[in-house]
Structure 1
Amino acid sequence: MRDALIVWGGWAGHEPEQGAAVVKEMLEGEGFRVRVETETAAFADPAIRDYSLIVPIYTMATIEKGEVENLTAAVRGGVGIAGWHGGMGDAFRTATEYQFMVGGQWVSHPGNIIDYTVDVIRPDDPVMEGIASFPYRSEQYYMHVDPANEVLATTTFTGAHAPWIDGVVMPVVWKKRYGEGRVFYSSLGHVASEFQVPQMKTILLRGMLWAAR
């Protein structure tokens, strides 16, 4: 049986507890044994190096040096890490090694909750198989991203809320390697109700399974 660790907390507006419950059920449905923690101290546990998957859900928080060092070392050693939206992409703003591992950092969502399009650019990838480009209503994340990411889906900003970014194409879903570990990220999922969007839920589940090998 594969083991997964979910660590949730941070800003309550992203509904981390509710999201953790949904993801726990998803992973258990795939045969994982899931451990759930609510403190970043869990990242310092040497045992995480034996897990198949880590899912951080911890927006706008801080992480101690020893915690981030153990977490990044575990992923470099082969543990998968996967997550979504601010729970992974805006978790620890001062931890640059964490951001290097993730492959991006949130910086803005012009217009807040808006309608936009998610464009699937790698329909041949198993994560995106059978999923066409689709409309979405949520925060459209503007991120600083790693050019080494393997981008699977993007979105294009219209400039309606920030004219100087009109036409900017921004990654939405990506995967990458960090040492021996697999890293997966999707910027979709501001609140837990977005798991009701089939494409969002399917992409995240497939991404977590890819990260966990």
Structure 2
Amino acid sequence: MREALIVWGGWSGHEPEQCASIIAGMLEEEQFRVHLENSTSAFASPSLSTMSLIVPIYTMSKIEKDEIGNLSSAVRDGVGLAGYHGGMGDAFREAVEYQFMCGGQWVAHPGNIIDYRVNVTRPDDPIMHGIQDFAYHSEQYYMHVDPSNEVLATTTFSGEHAPWIEGVVMPVVWKRRHGTGRVFYSSLGHVAKEFDVPQMRTIFRRGMLWAARD
């Protein structure tokens, strides 16, 4: 049986415990044995290398040198990594090794909770199969992103809340490699309720399975 590790914690506004429970249920439906931890010390465990998938849900906070070293090594050696919104894209702001692995870092969400549109750029990719452009109500993430990411969906900033970024096209969903490991990220999912959005939930489920080499 494949095993997955979910590590949750950090800023409570992203409802990490509730989201961890939802994601654990999704993975159990896919026949994973799921381990839930709420301390970054889990990233330092020697058992990390035996996992098929790691899901960090840990907005902001700090990660110790041995923890990020072990996590990065496990992914480079083939363990999958999948995450969403600030739980992965705004975790451990001081850890550049972590950002290098993830392929991006949150820097702003102009207007906070707003209506915006997600545009599917790779409808041919299995993760996005059958999903068309859709409206979304949440934080529209402005991120610093790695040009080596394989971008699957984007959003365009209107400039209403920050005129100098009008027309900027920003990646929303991407996948990438870190060593031999697969890394998946979606900026959707500010709070647990957003997993009720079919497109968001489907994209993340498929992304996790892709990262875990389903």
Q: TM over 0.5, yes or no? A: yes
Query: 1:203 offset after TM fit, Å?
Result: 0.1
Q: Which amino acid aligns with 1:185?
A: Y
Amino acid at match of 1:67: E
Q: Please list, as runs of the form range in 1=range in 2, the aligned pairs for 1:131-210 lying within 5 A after superposition.
A: 131-210=131-210
Return the offset for 1:106: 0.1
Q: State the 1:168 CA deviation.
A: 0.1
Distance between the aligned counterparts of 1:200 and 1:34, measured in 2?
21
Partner of 2:101: 101
SS in 2 for 1:19: helix
Residue 181 of structure 1 aligns with an amino acid whose one-letter code is: G
Q: Is the partner of 2:118 in helix, strand or coil?
A: strand
Letter in 2 for 1:179: G
Q: How far apart are residue 10 of structure 1 and its match? A: 0.1
Letter in 2 for 1:104: G
Is the aligned partner of 1:65 residue 2:72?
A: no
- Write the deviation string for residues 153-173 of structure 1: whole angstroms up to 9, x where unpaired: 000000000000000000000
Two-structure CA RMSD over aligned residues (Å): 0.2
The residue number in structure 2 matching 1:21 is 21
What is the correspondence of 1:81-92 to structure 2 with a 5 Å cutoff?
81-92=81-92
Distance 1:72 1:48 in 2: 10
Letter in 1 for 2:182: R
Deviation string for 1:177-199 (max 9, x for gaps)? 00000000000000000000000
Deviations 1:138-163 (A, max 9, x none): 00000000000000000000000000
- Percent sequence identity is 74
**Structure 1 segment 39-50 matched on structure 2, within 5 A:** 39-50=39-50
Calculate the TM-score normalised by the size of structure 1.
Answer: 1.00
Q: TM-score, normalised by structure 2?
A: 0.99
State the match for 2:124 in structure 1: 124
Aligned equivalents of 2:110, 2:131: Cα separation in 1: 26
Find the counterpart in structure 2 of residue 8 from structure 1: 8
Tell me the CA shift for residue 83 of structure 1.
Answer: 0.5
Structure 2 letter corresponding to 1:202? T
How far off is 1:39 after superposition? 0.2
Runs of 4+ in 1 over 3 A off after TM superposition: none
Structure 2 gap segments, 5+ residues each: none
Amino acid at match of 1:102: C
Q: Which runs of 5+ in 1 are unaligned?
A: none
User: Offset at 1:208?
Assistant: 0.1
